[in-house]
Amino acid sequence: MQGATVPHTTHTTGAMQANEQQRGGFSGFARACWTAAWLAYRNLRYYPSNLALAGAQELTAIGVWYFVGRFLNVSASQAVRQYGANYLAYVVVGVLLNQVCLAALNGPFTTISEAFWEKRLETYRLSIHGIWANVIGRLGWDVVFSTVLQCVALALLLAFGGLSLHAGVNVPLVIGASLLLVFANAGLGIAGASLFFLLEVKSGQDPITWAYRYLVMLASGLYVPLAVLPGWLRWLSGILPQTYGLAVVRKLVLTGVGWQSASLWGALAPLLVAAVFSVACGYVLLSLALRRAERGGGIGVVV
Amino acid sequence: MAVTAGTTATSAIIDVHGIGKSYRQAGKLAGRGQLAALRNVDLRMETGAVLGLLGPNGAGKTTLIKILAGLLRPDSGGGSVLDYDLLRQHRQIRAHVGLVAPTADVGIDNNLTVWQNLDFWASVYGLHGAQARARIAGLLERLGLADKADFWPMRISAGQRQRLALARSLLAETPLLFLDEPTNKLDQEGVRSVRQMIAELNREQGVTILLTTHVMEEAEELCGEIALLNAGELVRRQPTGELMRSLQLARPITLVIGYADRLPPHWQTEVSALPGVISVMLDGGGATPEGDGLAGDACHLVSDATLRVGSVDLRASTSTLLGWIRKHGLALRSMRAEPVTLTDVFTTLAQRRVQPAVDAE
């Protein structure tokens, strides 16, 4: 093996050197992410019906649980006493937040899969910020788009649906906790995307995000309070970031607790750990997967 | 047997040695195993050169290009590309090379217009604003796509899509460009404009180009050197003219000459002595009417004959043949030179037992 050499400028053109400064660094990476996000937006706008359907799909998911919540509100509210004894608000807030998390969870695998089959993945690989800018940019778009839709749904339900939140909500803390939960899901999503190369799962869904999605529905307290779950399922709920994220955000918006609340930190601390751990796992796994694909020739469709 | 360039110049833009690559093979019929795509390939390219990499399908051309572009890791060997270490600095290599894949739709989004596609990739490559617009407009103009800027990619021809793919790869202005069959699917006009652009890129901007092609004529026109790859091995590398001469590939030149009755008695000896000519044959010599042959025409019967000449040096042979025809007062009705094909080259090499037989494409 030849030792690493120090690059010199013998082979670089003037234009390339000028571009080099502009392209590199964080601002270059941010621009590349923005470009990927713009492409996702542009593709959605190209088919206006898809844009409308995406909105309708999100609103339907909320609508279903809104009516379930209304139906069970009287009988189930006592079971959620620690969240303000309002089952309708409990389930709606949980589902709204979970929809954003799903966008972060599913986005990376879809991004890698689409770019691979549309023969763009290798071309991204040839750019200075590579596949990562595409994954992060597209992830950002998915989260922002979903957040906007959830905010619209929340506004409609607050205005016309009889939904009520606590008057003294600590908005920055809500945003911070929500972001931690989104990061935790994004990390898992990126880890799931790595299976595209590690397990050669080239279509359909990756096992990590698929399993996580169903575990969340079952054991995170998304639809029913954790108290109703059997002991072994409650143990499982302890390893799901959603369990902590949903608890924190519900406490903040339904009971109005502040940052000094001990019960809040009891859920916020594990959420922080989960976010850091899953983002780190996602980064390591996808980097590993891309390196493995480079050895096996699996990044491009045409080999 | 691996063949090295053997050059001693100091400005090598590519200098790799012992490159080997195998793919894992899994199949019910073939069974599990390793398929060797490249074996011990040494390659050195000087800055500003245009090297043609030729070989039949499955020879390992694309694998070699992907390794050199930093997209694929070799199993063995090492070296440098653009002075970056091939094994350790592949990220830097990737960011500084351009690649055009043989399939036109690589990197093209059908939901964006031709202009928007290039604008998107310009942003990915770090070009923005007026700089990006000027570069895109220039490339579209040069590649004959200016009037297609607002078209959707699915509404333009396959050749135009290939030119769009070429434009995308040229956006980044990299000093090293890998062109994997760049004129694939193009019509004659498209082939001409792309070849012209490749030549200009090399001549005017000093871009070093590694080109794969199946068309010998293209390699002869564009490449200073040709490297032949077969079954993962670099079997020959020589300056283009030298290679063609050394292979002694007889290229058939067919001339239809009029007034064949004026042929000198020792015409065969004279033609055989012309530069590059290795075989001569005369067909026909029958009488044909001059004019359109309609009733009432003056019917001057002249002898037309077809002269078939085998030449290993097309340029020298054609110019001297034309002189010889003029000298003897013959008329040249038509002349056609058949191009040498890649199959001819490999067949000749096989016949000389330089390598095992290659299955024709």
Q: Tens digit of pLDDT for each residue in B112-148?
A: 899 999 998 888 888 888 989 999 999 999 888 999 9
DSSP letter assigned to residue B4: -
- Give CA–CA dist B146/B333, Å, rounded: 40
DSSP 8-state assignment for residue B250 = P
- The values of phi and psi at residue B254, to 5°, are -110, 120
pLDDT band at A181 (very low <50, low <70, confident <90, very high): very high
Please check whether residue B67 lies inside any domain of the structure.
yes
Residue A83 is classified by DSSP as G
- Give the chain B residue nearest A38 (alpha carbons): B120
**Same domain as B256, residue B333:** yes
Same domain, B241 and B258: no
Measured CA to CA, the distance from residue A297 to residue A293 in angstroms comes to: 6
Burial group, residue A230, by CB count within 10 angstroms (0-12, 13-18, 19+): exposed
Q: Given B208, B223, B247, which residue is the final one in a domain?
A: B247
* Alpha helix ranges (H) inside A24-129: 25-46, 48-76, 87-117, 121-125
**Secondary structure of residue A135 in the 3-state scheme:** helix
Q: Can you tell me the distance from the alpha carbon of A108 to that of A187, in angstroms, rounded to the nearest whole number? A: 9
Nearest-5° angle of CA A178, CA A183, CA A188? 130
Span B146-184, pLDDT tens digits = 999 999 988 988 778 888 888 888 888 889 999 988 887
Interface test with A, best of B124, B176, B201, B204 (most A CBs within 10 A): B124
Amino acid letter, residue B165: A
Classify residue B75: in a domain, yes or no. Answer: yes
Alpha-carbon gap, residue B3 to B238, rounded angstroms:
10
Lowest mean pLDDT among A27-31, A63-67, B38-42, B184-188: B184-188
pLDDT digits (tens, 9 = 90+) for A32-70: 899 899 988 888 887 888 888 888 988 898 999 999 999
Contact A35 B124 (CB under 8 A): yes
Distance of CA B56 to the CA centre of its chain: 13
Say which residues have a Cβ less than 8 Å from residue B151's Cβ, sequence separation at least 6: B113, B114
Strand order in B301-311's β-sheet?
B277-289, B301-311, B251-258, B331-337
Q: Which of A172-176, A182-186, B1-5 has the lowest mean pLDDT?
A: B1-5
Arithmetic mean of pLDDT, B256-275:
88
- In terms of domains, do B178 and B322 share one? no
**DSSP codes of every residue in chain A:** -PPP----GGG--HHHHHHHHHHSHHHHHHHHHHHHHHHHHHHHHHSHHHHHHHHHHHHHHHHHHHHHHHHHHHHHGGGGGGGTS-HHHHHHHHHHHHHHHHHHHHHHHHHHHHHHHTT-HHHHHTSTTHHHHHHHHHHHHHHHHHHHHHHHHHHHHHHHS-----SS--HHHHHHHHHHHHHHHHHHHHHHHHHHHHS---SS--HHHHHHHHHHHHHSSSSS-GGGS-HHHHHHHTT-HHHHHHHHHHIIIII---TT-HHHHHHHHHHHHHHHHHHHHHHHHHHHHHHHHHHHT-SSS--
Q: Are both B268 and B181 inside the same structural domain?
A: no
Q: Is B88 among the domain residues?
A: yes
pLDDT averaged over every residue in chain B? 82
End-of-domain residue from the set B247, B265, B284: B247
Owning domain of residue B214: 12-96+174-247
The model's confidence at residue A2, banded by pLDDT at 50, 70 and 90, is very low
Q: Which residues of B touch A15 (CB under 8 A)?
A: 173
DSSP state of A24: S
The whole-angstrom separation of Cα B149 and Cα A301 is 27
Give A128's contacts in chain B (Cβ within 8 Å): 95, 125-126
Same domain, B203 and B291: no
Higher pLDDT among residues A14 and B237, named by residue: B237
Instruction: Identify whether residues B189 and B77 lie together within a single domain.
Output: yes
Q: What is the pLDDT of residues B240-251, one digit of tens each?
A: 878 877 777 778
The pLDDT value given to residue A173: 95
Is residue B128 included in any domain, yes or no?
no
**Given an 8 Å threshold on Cβ–Cβ distance, is B66 in contact with A12?**
no
CATH code of B266's domain: 3.30.70.1340
Give yes or no: residues B87 and B185 share one domain.
yes
pLDDT of B295 reads 42
Report yes or no on B354 lying in a domain. no
B241 and B264, same domain (yes or no)? no
Query: What pLDDT, on a 0 to 100 scale, did the predictor assign at position A259?
Result: 83
Whether B197 and B84 map to the same domain: the answer is yes
> Phi then psi for B193, rounded to 5 degrees?
-70, -35
Pair B58, B358: CB distance under 8 Å: no
- At residue B158, the pLDDT reads 77
Residues of A in Cβ contact (< 8 Å) with B79: 2
Q: Which region among A12-16, A38-42, A293-297 has the lowest average model confidence (pLDDT)?
A: A12-16
DSSP state letters, B304-350: EEEEEEEES-HHHHHHHHHHHHHHTT-EEEEEEEPPPPHHHHHHHHH
* pLDDT of residue A200 exceeding 70: yes
Q: Pick from B126, B127, B205: which is nearest to A13 by CB? A: B205
Among B247, B281, B307, residue at a domain's last position? B247
Q: What pLDDT, on the 0 to 100 scale, is given for residue B27?
A: 59
* Set of chain B residues whose Cβ sits within 8 Å of the Cβ of A47: 111
Residue of A128, A135, A9, A131 whose CA lies nearest to B126: A128
The CATH code of the domain that includes B90 is 3.40.50.300
Please give the structure tokens belonging to residue A145: 């788009």
* Predicted ipTM beyond 0.85: no
Structure confidence at residue A121 (pLDDT):
86
Residues B309, B240 within the same domain: no
Q: Are A289 and A197 in contact (CB under 8 A)?
A: yes
pLDDT average, residue stretch A63-86: 93
Domain count along chain B: 2
B159 belongs to a structural domain: no
Shared domain for B286 and B334, answered yes or no, is yes
User: A45: nearest CA in chain B?
Assistant: B111
What pLDDT is stored for residue B191 in this prediction?
84
Look at residue B135 and tell me if it is in a domain: no
In DSSP terms, B233 is beta-bridged to B230
Taking Cα atoms as reference points, which of B309, B314, B290, B292 lies closest to residue B300? B290
Q: Do the Cβ atoms of A86 and A166 come closer than 8 Å? A: no
pLDDT tens-digit map of A114-173: 888 888 888 888 888 889 999 999 999 999 999 999 999 999 999 999 999 998 899 999
Least confident of A30-39, A218-227, B289-298, B299-308: B289-298
Do residues B188 and B230 both lie within one domain? yes
Is B187 part of a structural domain of the chain? Answer: yes
- Say if residue A189's pLDDT is above 90: yes
